[in-house]
Structure 1
Amino acid sequence: MRRPDLSDEPSPADLDPADDAFHPFERIDGDAAAGLLLICDHASNALPARYGTLGLPPAELERHIGYDIGAAGVTRALASALGCPAVLSHFSRLLIDPNRGEDDPTLVMRLSDGAIIPGNRHVDEAETTYRLDRFHRPYHRAVAAEIARMTATGLAPAIFSVHSFTPVWRGSPRPWHIALLWDLDPRFARPLIEGLEAEGDLIVGDNEPYDGALKNDCLYRHGTATGLAHVLIEIRQDLIADLDGQIAWADRLAKLLPGILASAELHERRLFGSRTGPVTPLDIAELTAA
């Protein structure tokens, strides 16, 4: 696979001369009829100028607590390989987590993997609402708008969410190379798990080390509640810490995804429900205005 052109990639310096100029998401244009939308909830560790470093030493923002290491590079390379659209967040998960529902107690973290977040210590309802309005909700509207644009072609997209996980957690090595998280809709996850396992050189996690059923998270909102096929992948961070690794994994996925996406059922809207409890169906048009 050719290396993607990263010359137009936004940087915190480009987007952060002041809070008003800070753009909360990055959109990669692609074929609206591609049938696949890539999203990356934890793509960046950028923070608007008004927040500084949230009181943390800058090195802390380079850790996994600030963003999903390598996930943005995989997303961009995969979008380039498949010619499909992508939406990536452009703010640190420590500011507000776009992969959490608005009522989730971990929406704004005060403590993350042993690090106290001084800038979040006294966040009140007004500040949480500001961060929702300024960062969290625009990101989700961008995802919903892309889904609406793609659905208008007559081919509903499957949603593919790219994350990464630490190779060691609390002293215990994690054996998985890649993990797939899903709830009750098996259409995307099952064939992708089978395809990855068939390669013979991977340990594939099936809803481990994390569970894919999380009420009101990003894929619950845009997939479970709308009936669109979806899956979340987690790649171990030591495997995608540099551009070579990111391209290698994008290449691996790009070879598997077209065959899976050829199945018509991945482009139907079907409600499967959730292991978290009853699901209130959402219309895509509702989400673009939310």
Structure 2
Amino acid sequence: MTDEPYFIDGADRPSQWLVTCDHASNHVPHWINDGDLGLPRADMDRHIAYDVGAKGVALALGQALNAPVVGSNFSRLVIDPNRGADDPTLIMQLYDGTLIPANRGIDAAERAKRIETLYEPYHAAYAELAARRADTVILSVHSFTPQLQGKPIRPWEIGVLFAQDQRLTTPLIETLQSQTDYCVGINEPYRGYLPKDAIDRHALQHNRLNALIEIRNDLIVEESQQRAWAAQLAPILNEALAKTTLSQGS
């Protein structure tokens, strides 16, 4: 796995959609504790380290929507690109009951290095792709675990998250509910806004249409499942976009 902080797939695709995947990878760069956060492989392979299956869905959606895709090449446990740089959860020391040994007692210099080397280059690439068109629409792809430790089982199969801007998410939720049998979470399993998160930074602050989707990760483990979800979601997303008053076509 490369230590390059981000990947871009289909940079020249012309669609107004921009597909993003903030938590695409569980990779730890070699310069961080010799590429090891001190966790067993089993922990690095679960949801605390990355959004399981989300990268495959994002890449398949990029193809289906004829849209570029940008995603991270580093674990969210190294630094979380879906947090503001001043957020206390930017570099987690404890997540879903698991201590992150290499993050305990992290000093200001190490924090600054991770921001400069990983976090900011990812956001710079994201910003450049978002600015390629005046009418860019951002689709952020995430996944969630069916159950957090000690918490109830989550019933949703897909969640649609939003903040104050519901221009796209309202028709998206309506279309999902009318055309699928999915249990759709509305701002579930998480609330749809954190100050200075990726959607705030690249969509809300620029008045760009946007939606963040969360797919339950046990449904997208295999590549075939990821492609099937993308094939079903792409026309639903385009239909929802067509219903917005600000859609200008692609």
Question: What is the CA-CA distance between 1:116 and the residue it aligns to?
Answer: 0.7
Return the offset for 1:263: 4.5
Equivalent position SS for 1:74: helix
Is 2:157–2:215's contact at 8 Å kept on the other side of the alignment?
yes
- Distance, in Å, in 2 between the alignment partners of 1:104 and 1:46 is 22
Q: What residue identity is the alignment partner of 2:81?
A: P
Mapping of residues 1-290 of structure 1, within 5 Å: 12=1, 15=2, 22-31=3-12, 33-51=14-32, 52-151=35-134, 156-169=135-148, 170-263=150-243, 265-267=245-247
Distance 1:208 1:126 in 2: 36
Q: Name the amino acid aligned to 1:109.
A: M
8 A contact 2:16–2:136 mirrored in 1: yes
For the Cα contact (< 8 Å) 1:158–1:266, is it kept in 2? no
Equivalent AA in structure 1 for residue 173 of structure 2 = I
Taking a change above 3 Å as real, the CA distance of residues 262 and 31 of structure 1, as seen in their structure-2 partners, is farther
Amino acid at match of 2:28: L
Cα deviation, residue 262, structure 1: 2.8
- What is the TM-score with the length of structure 2 in the denominator? 0.94
Number of residue pairs matched? 245
- Equivalent pair of 2:64/2:234 in contact (CA under 8 Å): yes
Note the alpha carbon deviations across 1:177-222, whole angstroms, 9 max, x for none. Answer: 1001101111110111011101241110001110002111000111
Q: Give the fraction of aligned pairs with identical amino acids, expressed as a percent.
A: 47
Preserved contact between residue 32 and residue 150 of structure 1 (Cα < 8 Å):
no
Q: Which has the higher contact order (CA 8 A, sep 6+)?
A: 2
Structure 1 portions without partners, runs of 5+: 1-11, 16-21, 269-290
The one-letter code sitting in structure 2 at the alignment partner of 1:244 is S
The TM-score, its normalising length taken from structure 1, stands at 0.81
- Root-mean-square deviation (CA), in Å? 1.4
Deviation at 1:32, TM superposition (A): 5.1
* Contact 1:44/1:91 (8 A) holds in 2: yes
Cα distance in 2 for partners of 1:267, 1:147 equals 15
Shift of 1:168: 1.4
Moved more, 93-102 or 28-37: 28-37
